[in-house]
Every structure is written in structure tokens, then in C-alpha cells.
Amino acid sequence: MGKQICRLASTAGIPVVSISRTGKPKGIIENDFRNVSWIEADVFDPDTWAQHLLDCLAVIHCIGILEEDPVKGLTYQKMILESASIVGRTARLCGVQKFVYISAGAGAPETPASYMENKISAEHLLNSLGMELTILKPGMLYGDERPETIMENAEIQKLLKNPQIGPRLMPNRPLPVNTAARVALHAAMTPGFSGKLSVDDMEKLAAAI
């Protein structure tokens, strides 16, 4: 989702600093990202990237994982809660006034409970920092860059038509990743905009902006 946000912002002429462990993605179309500065840094070592936040109006936090890999140190607690804590506290110290957090409305049926527990804990922590906070709570996001999500969405759309299953799935139905990206960017760039946004909220807002 970070790449989609960067593309939308850059196309709108908004300068963006993208901070990630890999820096500039491979194979991008340069003209789509002409206003993006790509920074390769370790999110868990804010001394390597904090200076890039000093002139930023807002931070959009897109870090997270769907599956844990403890052998590689990839746990929900570290990649969801700890990363949000470090980025949020660093943003506040750097004078950033607005923070947008990509949380989740619900995990997939097979997702461990700790996934959502850490998402909720991250929301509470960020809310305690005193910044203008917007929390996006999508279900599954799908888009062309991850073809498997297109197929998963097609299957879920069939289930949504089932009168027994559909009503339970509807509140956290899949969203196009570009819809969530547009809403995240709007929240970051709109003074006074804050709060939690459900799938319904994001769909309505994206249609209006």
C-alpha cells in the first residue's frame, strides 16, 4: 500500500519521503514517482531516519505483516506494535502533527488472534501520543500488484451473495488498495481530519474526494 500512496501523492505534486528497509523499489516507472525521495533505513533504529521527518506535515504508517516468521524475527508484536510505537514516538519528537495508521478491521479466519490484538494495542498506543490521528480499518486489500488478491476477492464476492455468510463478511469486505491509499493520503493532507474509518467510511470518502 505504501507504493500506491507514494504514486498518488507524487502525481498530485505532493513531495513524499518513503522510508523502508529496501529503499527504492525495483522496476518502478520513474515518472509516476518523481516527487518521492526513497530512504533505505531500519525502522527499529530511528537515528538512521528521524531527520527526514523534521519538515514533514504527516506520517502514514504502512508497516505490517500478515504471517509471522519468528526465525527471521518477524512477529506480530515486533512488526505491528513495536514498529508503530517507534514511528509514532519518533514522529511526535520531530514535531509531526498528523499521523495516519493502517490498522485492520479483521484478520482472515485463519489469522491468529495475536494479529488483531497487536493492531488494537498499536491503535491505543498511537492515540495516547497526542497527535492528530486517523486510523484506517480495512479488511483485505486487493490490487493488480498482488494477483493472488484479485482471485481471493473474486471468491469472497461470491460468498458475499450468500444470505447466511454474506452479512457477516460485509462489514470487512475487500477494498481496492487504491481506495485505501486515496483515503490515507486525504487524511494526511486534510487539517482537522481524524478518527477511525471503517470499510463503509473509506468507500464513502473515496467516492467523495
DSSP states of 120-133 as a string? HHHHHHHHTT-SEE
C-alpha cell read off for 57: 506535515
Task: For residue range 171-199, list pLDDT tens digits in order.
Answer: 999 999 999 999 999 999 999 999 999 99
**Coil, strand, or helix at residue 163?**
coil
d(CA 35, CA 11): 8
pLDDT at 109 over 70: no
d(CA 112, CA 119): 12
pLDDT at 38 over 70: yes
d(CA 183, CA 117): 24
pLDDT at 110 over 80: no
Q: Is 57-208 in CATH node 3.40.50.720?
A: yes
pTM: 0.94
